[in-house]
Structure 1
């Protein structure tokens, strides 16, 4: 049954998932609860937007065979990079308190005052703000939830890249 799904419909689903994730982060977590995003959270958002944009282009293009596989692989790559950042964030949250890095400058400050490579290195190191668990749902912190979403997107994207196209039969 799943193999009969239109590739365009699957890519539209990935777009909707990215939109829902961003709305949840921006409107609910940041707007309603007043939680500020740390540098690692902002980096994860970049990868959510990236997979969403790739999926949107794929849905609009609606390619067959090789193109569908390329778009699926690119979505999986963006989600894998996001999962790596989320995994780092989860790791920081589970460090013993005496091993948590000191708090650092804001992402905006780093991007304005450091070369990009240095700012990226500092972001990936994380800081004390990244180690705080400020909100949970079903016992999962925000980075753990984000990691789970990235894993779902990786699975869907790889399935989309590797499956037979129902239009080719």
Structure 2
């Protein structure tokens, strides 16, 4: 079955599922492989959650009119753009790390020196060194993979929202609307 021929609803719900699977992988890698997230990693997770929410809401409300599908596509692009910015900055910090840790002091230092309220406000958790590469797959670090996924999901959302729909009815739609 060709996912490029799926309905807007199916395409957006798939985008949401991918976003939440990526967040699940990040949490798995933190808990099972003990990869402590830095503040930029946490922000990338928030961006994936936000993008996933846009995809799921767009899929659930699956507009019939092309104008509303375009609105959902632009909203997905905007949220993905935030993720692209964060992941791009993080990847750049890993490629050319500064002499001083890029994200601030380590979590342990913050815990010892800040009140609980200030600690939570400070970005919830993280190791503090965004320039550290502690995991790679196929030559790319986790932030680089996040950047790739944000770009792919932005293109996916744009494709789903901007493509012309067939007027043949329900033939290419597995969820009810084209």
Q: Which of 113, 116, 130 is the matching residue for 2:118?
A: 113
TM-score by length of 2: 0.77
Q: List gaps (5 residues or longer) in structure 1.
A: 121-126
Q: What count of residue pairs does the alignment treat as equivalent?
A: 162
2:154 equivalent to 1:149:
no
Structure richer in helix, relative to its length: 1
Q: List gaps (5 residues or longer) in structure 2.
A: 170-178
RMSD: 3.1
- Provide the C-alpha distance between the structure 1 equivalents of 2:48 and 2:142, rounded to a whole number of angstroms: 14
2:158 equivalent to 1:158:
yes
Cα 1:71–1:168 shift into 2, 3 Å: farther
- Offset at residue 96 of structure 1 (A): 4.8
Residue of structure 1 in register with 2:22 after alignment = 21
Cα 1:26–1:6 shift into 2, 3 Å: same
| Conservation of the 8 A alpha-carbon contact between 2:101 and 2:129 | no
- The worse-fitting range, judged by mean Cα deviation, of 13-22 and 105-114 is 105-114
- Provide the C-alpha distance between the structure 2 equivalents of 1:73 and 1:102, rounded to a whole number of angstroms: 30
| Conservation of the 8 A alpha-carbon contact between 1:72 and 1:157 | yes
Which is greater in Rg? 2
Cα 1:142–1:110 shift into 2, 3 Å: farther
1:20-78 deviations in whole A, cap 9, x for unaligned? 10111112x11110111110000001110001011111111111212211111111111
- Provide the C-alpha distance between the structure 1 equivalents of 2:82 and 2:35, rounded to a whole number of angstroms: 24
Taking the TM superposition and a 5 Å limit, the aligned residue runs for 1:9-48 are 9-27=10-28, 29-48=29-48
TM-score by length of 1: 0.81
